[in-house]
Structure 1
């Protein structure tokens, strides 16, 4: 099992706070979490700009758009047919509760993640991102950058999201704010130092002792 806290502490010491997610509201985070799948943030930003200009990111206005119009607006994010279907389903779910996140959290309790995974186009990474950034719950987001980092550090068998996440042990003191910072640190580190293994070795984590993270 893995205790990632020493890694989190070292990354925070070296890089400082990241203040993620880049958005002005929680509903913008929801929309962005759907659009960012299988693409980069620059493409998402273009799609968000289109939606903002057309609807001011008001979910009732987005839900009133025709399928064709919605697909046209989010086209820059790629996979726009599937993403339009997912976006409509996810926003309709939030609209049922008038975007009252506390009410939704209380309604679903420990079943919140499972409920989100049942929505079209919502996978583990998207569900956990929404847990952390929208519902203010701590979770470890084991995205591609994070799996690459742990693999380069010498951990084996972490090719899938769930395989890494199941090995992570978070302390009770780990808050959703910690989860947000850790995710931001991991992604910013990935952009700078994980293009290949040599770049990682030359980084400030290149000689980090993985034994500090190992729980027997």
Structure 2
């Protein structure tokens, strides 16, 4: 098993601050996390920019949109029918809960993840992004780059999100800020060294097991 504190330090030392998640508010992070599903960030950002232009990303303005209106606004992100449904369902749930993220986290405790997964369109990865970046909880986001990296580092190759998520837990000393930065660093590393075969072997993590 890799020492995750050492891995975190190596990533930080070599890549610097990740600058992730790029957003001015938690509501913007929520929207970005949904819009980036099954697409790249450029496409998601185009949709997010248009949504910001039309609504200011104000929750009530977004909730006042019909699903058809929202679909047209976020079309550039692809899968816009499912994503519009997920956005409205998430915002409706948060509206019902009062938009107090700390209170919501306290209310649901260890059941928060399972509650998030009940929201239509919120899968494992999005739920964990919400846990880390919205509800300030230190959990692993086992996205595609994370799964590729851990396979390179000697972990059992996993086909699904849940397989790695169950296999790897963040160290007890990680804060939610560490979890946020760790995720950002892994994604930045992945974009540079995990996109094609042979790149990892030229990286500063080659041989780290």
TM-score (norm 2): 0.96
Contact 2:139 / 2:169 at 8 angstroms: preserved in 1?
A: no
Query: 2:133 corresponds to which residue?
Result: 133
C-alpha separation in 2, matches of 1:3 and 1:127: 25
Higher normalized contact order (CA 8 Å, seq sep 6+, divided by chain length)? 1
Q: Decide which moves more: 116-125 or 152-161.
A: 152-161
SS of the residue corresponding to residue 167 of structure 2 reads coil
C-alpha separation in 2, matches of 1:64 and 1:82: 18
Is 1:8 matched up with 2:8?
A: yes
Is 1:178 matched up with 2:178?
A: yes
C-alpha separation in 1, matches of 2:56 and 2:196: 40
Query: 1:205 corresponds to which residue?
Result: 205
Deviations 1:3-53 (A, max 9, x none): 422211111111122131000000100111111100011111111111111
Is 1:67 matched up with 2:67?
A: yes
Deviations 1:162-210 (A, max 9, x none): 11111113222110000011000000000011122311101111122x1
The residue correspondences of 1:7-86 to structure 2 (distance < 5 A) are 7-86=7-86
Q: Decide which moves more: 137-146 or 94-103.
A: 94-103
C-alpha separation in 2, matches of 1:92 and 1:3: 40
CA drift at 1:2: 5.4
Give the aligned length.
Answer: 209
SS of the residue corresponding to residue 199 of structure 2 reads helix
Is 1:160 matched up with 2:170?
A: no
Q: CA RMSD in A?
A: 1.3
Query: 1:214 corresponds to which residue?
Result: none
Q: Decide which moves more: 4-13 or 117-126.
A: 4-13
Contact 1:143 / 1:161 at 8 angstroms: preserved in 2?
A: yes
SS of the residue corresponding to residue 204 of structure 1 reads coil
Contact 1:2 / 1:169 at 8 angstroms: preserved in 2?
A: no
C-alpha separation in 2, matches of 1:49 and 1:100: 25
TM-score (norm 1): 0.93
Contact 2:90 / 2:119 at 8 angstroms: preserved in 1?
A: yes
Residue 63 to residue 124, structure 1, CA distance change in 2 (3 Å): same
Q: Decide which moves more: 167-176 or 41-50.
A: 167-176
Runs (5+) with no aligned partner, structure 2: none
Contact 2:147 / 2:164 at 8 angstroms: preserved in 1?
A: yes
